[in-house]
Structure 1
Amino acid sequence: MRAAKRPDLAGLWHGVEELCRARGRCPGQLLDPQRLGHLCGVEPALIPAVVAGTSSEEPLERRVHRRFLRLRATRRDKHGREWPLAAIADDFDAPGASLGPLNAGTGLPRLGHAAGVQRFFGVHAGFLLADAKSAVERALALAGPGAPDGPAGLERLSYLTGIAPPDIRLTLDGRPPRVPLKEQVHQRFEHLRRTRPRADGHPYSLSAIARSFDASGQSLTRVAQGEGLPNLAAAAGIQRFYGVEGGFLLAEDTEALAGALTAVRCELEAAEREEENPMLAVLRAHDVRSIVTRAGRLSPRGWKSLADHLDDLLAREGQLGPPTGPGTPLAGDAAEGESA
């Protein structure tokens, strides 16, 4: 039995529609299935059924494979080509062949590789996988007007992210702590057990958590002791059990679409939120100051290199339009340089 209820997608959808109309925006533009599909990884044609609660859920292996292909198809490099497997894997010091089964749909990646893929493409990694900076920024966006009652300030952010308040402060100051993935997952798993207990106040047992995804409590012992990482299926099960976001590759369609609709709502409320939530403004101000300070020491050649790197990052996140004019690569060129 899960510890959290399913999100009310229909309610979220209608809430966004009402906000759009109240602010003179067109609901059809912000709720366009193509746009939502890009945000959450759900196939646009499936979105109406997902909202209505009539869609069937794919097995984890197939879902992760499909979303990986969608990442590659919709977040291309600055030349409009798909990123080669070798380039993606090199970003987290792995061989391109390690992503072969994921690309072919014949196997699940390791948890560290899944985190690396999501980080490479700039999509939300989920509660257990997100680095401190992206987790805090996402929590700040969700902690705006209308959020449920709960602890205030840093304590509330800690509750939402699983990050200790001192580390939240460091992150807001532009100095997020560097924690190995194994230790990060251990800390956040223990945070979930501590802050989201049973009705009697005691933590859920490892057996109860594992039973929710048809595994044994022993399979989580090493995770609870900080001695190992769960496999991808277990990580998805833990996050689903506690009702926290599963991340782009791990989330069920319903949960992923709920995150996309929440992001749309946050977009509509952005101006109000920045006035009412000074921590978000502080975070962004620190980012800007840090970048400007360091960039000011660059040579002209360094500036060009920085601009090229920014183009790469924008392309990964789908924010850079496809190139036009002479030299635009043909669709068939996308496979050049692809490794198995």
Structure 2
Amino acid sequence: MADQQVGLTQVLERIDALLQASNRRRDQVLDIEQLARDAALPAETVHTLLDGGQVPQMEFSALVRQRFAQLRASRLRQKGEQREPYSLREIGESFGLTGAALSAWGNAERNVRPSVEAVAGIERFYGVPRGFLYARPDEALADALRPVLEALEDSADPYAVLAARHPGVKGLTLRRFLTLPEQEAQVVQQTVEALDRLLHEDRADDAGP
């Protein structure tokens, strides 16, 4: 399973390593529109982040409004032969807020800020994790990419998975690792993963706030 603490850069590095091992390209496995729906991000933001670019930081209220609009536009319900967004009234009434009140902060009227209760209520309504509406774009995209990474790891050979997770370890060492008894292999893997975490922490400390 993909590490839930691994950020976007590391997720993409692992995906690229697994794709290289299987002679495939990103455009053969990454669906930009699907990633945009899963992350509730504009497709152009997904493109920018995948290309290694930066997106402007947004104030909390603006970020929540944008994510809510994307979420509502991408999580549609079936009505007859058509699919349409849930109404603001339906969403708001699910947690005790009127559609008008939800519309007021959704449209940034009268400088109304989204309450913690409203944000949590919307997340419950759509069945998304707590914090989904205010996650940074890179965090949201990393979460959307994790199922892709897990699928690639499930279909790859163990050597490719280990090489993708620990690119600094030499290939010969990894091949010898695969011949170890299961219990010894688990100890070695836990040790490598612990060292890997420490390395990322050191890099984060060096980068500063």
TM over 0.5, yes or no?
A: yes
1:57 aligns with: 57
Deviations 1:82-137 (A, max 9, x none): 11111111222332223122321343321121111112112222xxxxxxxxxxxx
1:74 aligns with: 74
Higher relative contact order (CA closer than 8 Å, sequence separation 6+): 1
User: 1:78, CA displacement in angstroms?
Assistant: 1.0
Is the contact made by 1:9 and 1:254 (CA closer than 8 Å) also made in structure 2? yes
User: 1:262, CA displacement in angstroms?
Assistant: 2.2
CA distance in 1 between partners of 2:136 and 2:90 (Å): 27
2:116 aligns with: 111
Is the contact made by 1:21 and 1:27 (CA closer than 8 Å) also made in structure 2? no
Evaluate the alpha carbon distance shift between residue 61 and residue 271 of structure 1 in structure 2; reply closer, same or farther with a 3 A threshold.
same
Is the contact made by 1:72 and 1:82 (CA closer than 8 Å) also made in structure 2? yes
* Aligned 1:1-340 pairs, distance under 5 A: 8-20=7-19, 22=21, 27-51=26-50, 52-79=52-79, 80-106=83-109, 107-125=112-130, 247-269=131-153
CA distance in 2 between partners of 1:17 and 1:41 (Å): 23
User: 1:10, CA displacement in angstroms?
Assistant: 3.2
Aligned residue type for 2:38 = L
CA distance in 2 between partners of 1:89 and 1:64 (Å): 15
TM-score in terms of structure 1 length: 0.38
Is the contact made by 2:7 and 2:139 (CA closer than 8 Å) also made in structure 1? no
SS at match of 1:78: strand
Aligned residue type for 2:113 = L
SS at match of 2:62: helix
TM-score in terms of structure 2 length: 0.59
Aligned residues: 146
CA distance in 2 between partners of 1:124 and 1:31 (Å): 22
Evaluate the alpha carbon distance shift between residue 250 and residue 116 of structure 1 in structure 2; reply closer, same or farther with a 3 A threshold.
same
2:193 aligns with: none
Evaluate the alpha carbon distance shift between residue 85 and residue 8 of structure 1 in structure 2; reply closer, same or farther with a 3 A threshold.
closer
Structure 2, gaps ≥5 residues long: 157-209
**As a proportion of its length, which structure holds more helix?**
2
CA distance in 2 between partners of 1:12 and 1:27 (Å): 13
